[in-house]
């Protein structure tokens, strides 16, 4: 397993205050650091276990939730049938999937703190912003691919189960369906980025995961206790306004789901900015 953030024998590009680099000396680029982070991530068993858990648990929840959807439709009122959203129903697996993919994002950072390898990585890559940026890019790419695979797989599995129950289903070409499925993958990638930021700030897997659980579950659950001047914040909160991107039926409370998702991404960008600042200034 590769433990250094740069290739052996290749010196880090010097800062402005360091001595000039000798002619012919190779320079470590961001691509080198990115490749090293990818090798580290793919070398961990926990990475593949987490991805396998994401797909297995995600599709299992889809199968369970869709098994009784036909009864809900046939026994529903006229208003409930009018609001029938077969695509959104098949994507509700995101509620649990976001926790699994968050574990992956947290471990990208905290696994090195737990083993002490972070000190080695920082010795090999003194420019801390480059090291953390590489981790962010790798985590985003993996989460994006995994999230999209899960969302498309959940959608097709859900529609297959609905067709067996002889109730209306959905196709990717239907209005809003492709947007909901791809938006779901983007949502999960954003949650992974939030997890990377929290992992960097807290340097502990348990603390970062507990904080993320509070953000996506606890705060929305007690949102009614917040004063009225804070209620607008939940238009851009995970599992509240931002989660409206998973539906194809317009919710009057969140008529612009992509705007809500964009607001959530801005909040995550602020967390990442704080993570970069703290990571650069504090000791290991």
Q: What is the count of structural domains for the chain? A: 1
Q: Is residue 60 part of a domain?
A: yes
CA distance 109 to 192: 12
- Assess if residue 1 is contained within a domain: no
- Beta partners for residue 251, in sequence order: 254
Higher-confidence residue of 216 and 23: namely 216
| Assigned domain for 193 exists | yes
- Please check whether residue 20 lies inside any domain of the structure: no
The whole-number pLDDT of residue 163 equals 87
Decide if 55 contacts 149 (C-beta within 8 A).
Answer: yes
Question: What percent of the chain lies above the pLDDT cut of 70?
Answer: 90
Residue 139 pLDDT class (50, 70, 90 cuts): very high
Measured between alpha carbons, how far is 259 from 244 in angstroms, rounded to an integer?
10
Cβ(239)–Cβ(188) below 8 Å? no
**Under DSSP, is residue 251 helix (H, G, I), strand (E, B) or coil?**
strand
Instruction: Over range 89-116, report the average pLDDT.
Output: 93
Q: Is residue 219 situated within a structural domain?
A: yes
Whether residue 13 lies inside any domain: the answer is no
Instruction: Quote the pTM value.
Output: 0.86
Q: How confident is the model at residue 26 (pLDDT cuts 50, 70, 90)?
A: low
SS3 260: helix
Let me know if residue 173 belongs to a domain: yes
Q: What's the mean pLDDT in 91-105?
A: 94
Burial of 148: CB neighbours in 10 Å, binned 0-12, 13-18, 19+: middle
Label residue 99 by pLDDT band (50, 70, 90).
Answer: very high
Is-contact 20 36, C-beta < 8 A?
A: no
Question: Which residues span the domain enclosing 113?
Answer: 30-281
What's the CA gap between 107 and 43, in Å, rounded? 13
Q: Could you give the percent of the chain with pLDDT greater than 90?
A: 57
Residue with the larger pLDDT of the pair 78 and 170: 170
Residue 127 lies in a domain: yes
């Amino acid at each position: 397993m590769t433990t250094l953030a740069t290739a052996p024998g290749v010196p880090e590009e010097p800062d402005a205050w360091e001595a000039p680099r000798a002619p012919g000396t190779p320079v470590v680029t961001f691509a080198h650091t990115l490749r090293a982070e990818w090798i580290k991530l793919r070398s961990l068993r926990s990475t593949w276990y987490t991805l396998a858990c994401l797909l297995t648990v995600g599709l299992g929840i889809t199968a369970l939730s869709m098994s009784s959807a036909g009864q809900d439709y046939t026994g529903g009122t006229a208003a409930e049938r009018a609001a029938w959203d077969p695509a959104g129903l098949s994507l509700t697996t995101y509620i649990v999937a976001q926790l699994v993919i968050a574990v992956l994002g947290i471990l990208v950072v905290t696994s090195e703190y737990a083993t002490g390898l972070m000190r080695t990585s920082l010795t090999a890559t003194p420019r801390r912003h480059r090291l953390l940026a590489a981790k962010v890019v790798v985590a985003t790419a993996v989460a994006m691919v995994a999230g999209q695979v899960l969302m498309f797989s959940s959608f097709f599995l859900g529609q297959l189960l609905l067709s067996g129950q002889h109730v209306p289903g959905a196709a990717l070409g239907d209005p809003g369906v492709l947007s909901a499925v791809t938006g779901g993958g983007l949502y999960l990638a954003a949650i992974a980025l939030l997890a990377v930021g929290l992992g960097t700030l807290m340097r502990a897997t348990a603390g970062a995961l507990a904080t993320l659980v509070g953000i996506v579950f606890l705060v929305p659950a007690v949102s009614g206790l917040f004063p009225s001047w804070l209620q607008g914040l939940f238009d851009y909160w995970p599992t509240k306004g931002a989660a409206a991107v998973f539906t194809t039926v317009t919710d009057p409370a969140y008529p612009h789901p992509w705007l809500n998702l964009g607001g959530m991404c801005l909040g995550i960008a602020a967390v990442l900015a704080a993570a970069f600042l703290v990571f650069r200034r504090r000791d290991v």
